[in-house]
Chain A
């Protein structure tokens, strides 16, 4: 069985390319979310119905805005090569991700799914919830890699950078979600 024992010749894209190209899946996610948000106006009417869990919506939004701190902290530490410190920030963001997933699930059913607003709310928030699951897995992967194989973490720092960028997009998307579904 032929194996490639040398360093990965077949994976030579530089960090700049890996980080830059991550913009394209994020762009797709953004457009996809925009499609969901626009669908809210098609199916959800022109006003926010009574019964939405406004308190939870505000709470989750504040939580996400606060998470900008550890996110930017992680980015700065990665830029300075302080990987261990960045891993600590990842732990905080993982807790935020779990709270967000739990919070999103808790809002389901406030408006019945069979109604226009309830349907588009549940499906859109469920989709954003999947993004949070993806973010959580990305953070967990970087966290575990940083703890278990720090050298590999350092060699593939672009992965951690992309996870942080992904979190930044989550902040934007959730904020937009809150505005579209809770305020407009």
Chain B
């Protein structure tokens, strides 16, 4: 679909800086890192000296983290790009060139690109932790030559927390969502662009703290941080707590922008029924974060308070350790839907364009997404059926199993869209289909976890590990790759190499299933999760899983190389390579700095997924003199 004449004239000369990259542009990032580390060590040492203790104790580590975080933010450009002007100081010019990627920026596109880079790096390092876990499980007892039990516990804790909060939580929402949110709505930016910029700058310190937690004693609790083990398992738990709280805050700032932008900044004519499906997924994620994060946020801070201030929320005479479970899972079960609902919505964005068919039963799809959002808020207790009273079990079992119904709506929408369509099986479409297949397995096996009699047998076994890897890695990461390939031409102006994209899709699908399908059998046979040493009869299957996982992990070098080389030397992409009718493809590719500049304004006059022959254009551009 070509850009209209009005819009074409309007975008001239607004592509942002075209100057070549220079290393001096990286200086704010280096400055932030230097100030962050200096601030951390200075504050931790001073606190330790005052308290006559050492810097690895919880209080100095906490003070160091807070000061280091603030120093990092100050160094990133937030001071001159935001705070100074907010207090009436000099106004720094908004940088529109390459340099905006290396410093605090209010450009949501730059923020989103930084999210992608961060997610890739976090995925790499957390993936290395996964490889370390699987090396440990190559033999029934590898503690003599590989990780000790203590180091093994630290490793899976870091792997879990990072994969969930530093990858899954922001891969689709951050990297794709923040890029596309204003463009799909016909807006030039998000509602609070500086807050969105800040959201990214909170990520690196949190990730560094969690990865570095073994240096101050690590933590033994896994990604749950359950007390009272948390209080008795090493000072590294404060980095876990602070890192998790910071990552949650970052997600929340994004959630506020998502909701605010969708509510207040839609183009003329974009009624609720015409909001793109992908944005409905983002809307659901943002809603979950705003409404449900508080309970978990307070739990995290209360846990920290027990460790550094001497309160007894979860330990000691007035402690209620099980209250933490309630608070923790209040968000962290729905958090799964923060990962998954944007993935669902992404399928319903990509598949209609790939099949050249409108979304089947579109309103039922939206109802499904919103239904999962609502019911998902009430089901967290199924994570600890073994620790609750009998009265609570049937209630939460029923609620959890009810989730299948709205999930079914989404699946039926996707299948109905494909039915009778002319599907072009491009790499993004292929990955979406694979993600659907994987999620189907993850969802069906999840019913057993929701079912109390089965769950009491399967609780904390490898069945659970298999289940949630199918729903998160198998669904979210497949969808993430699909989205990266789909919108790669939009961001870079180049096409991904389809052969290597499809080659990796199959590699990923085969070795993913070879790695995680046997885990269901392992679980049924009695392999508990979170153990470094297991009984010898489980060895053959564990060996098979480990070897498969090494192929799975090594395979990720393929998309990394493919994306890099496609970016540097891939084929030039046309403006709309997929024939999509979505609004983001109305701007040139790669996206100019100002997507919809002053001088043009879009009005939505129809659904953006009407692919029938001769269907009218869904968007009309008109000149305007006052901007939007």
Which chain A residues have a beta carbon within 8 Å of chain B's beta carbons?
Answer: 1-5, 8-13, 16-18, 20-21, 24-25, 27-28, 31-32, 34-36, 39, 42-43, 113-116, 118-120, 122-123, 127, 140-141, 144-149, 152-153, 159
Contacts and interface: CB of A to CB of B under 8 A. Distances in A.
B295 A9 contact: no
26 contacts: A2-B17, A2-B95, A2-B96, A3-B96, A4-B93, A4-B593, A10-B107, A10-B193, A10-B594, A12-B627, A12-B628, A16-B264, A20-B260, A21-B259, A25-B256, A31-B294, A32-B294, A35-B294, A42-B323, A43-B313, A119-B313, A123-B309, A141-B88, A145-B86, A145-B88, A159-B86
B60 to A, nearest CB: 19
Q: Give the 10 A-B residue pairs with the shortest CB-CB distance, closest first.
A: A2-B17, A21-B260, A148-B88, A119-B311, A17-B264, A2-B97, A116-B318, A3-B93, A32-B294, A145-B88
B16 A9 contact: no
B424 interface: no
B298 A32 contact: yes
Contacts of B192: 18, 21
A169 B627 CA distance: 33
Given A10-B193, A17-B260, 16 more contacts: A1-B95, A3-B96, A10-B94, A10-B189, A13-B264, A20-B260, A21-B260, A21-B261, A21-B264, A39-B313, A42-B323, A43-B313, A113-B311, A116-B312, A127-B301, A152-B91
Given A12-B188, A144-B88, A24 B259 contact: yes
Contacts of A122: 309, 311
B264 to A, nearest CB: 4
Contacts of A16: 264
Contact of A2 (B19, B89, B256, B265): B19
Nearest to A25: B256
A123 B261 CA distance: 33
A167 B333 CA distance: 33
B99 A1 contact: yes
Contacts of B255: 24
A11 B106 contact: yes
Interface of B: 14, 16-19, 85-89, 91, 93-97, 99, 106-107, 187-189, 191-193, 252, 255-256, 259-261, 263-265, 290-291, 293-295, 297-298, 301-302, 305, 309-313, 316, 318, 320, 323, 593-594, 597-598, 627-628
A8 B94 contact: yes
B260 A24 contact: yes
A155 B191 CA distance: 16
Given A4-B94, A43-B313, A144 B17 contact: no
A104 B290 CA distance: 27
Contacts of B301: 123, 127
A119 B264 CA distance: 41
Contacts of A119: 305, 311-313, 318
Contact of B320 (A17, A42, A147): A42
Contacts of B106: 10-11
> Which residue of A21, A28, A32, A159 has the most chain B CB atoms within 10 A of its CB atom?
A21
A5 B93 contact: yes
Contacts of B259: 21, 24
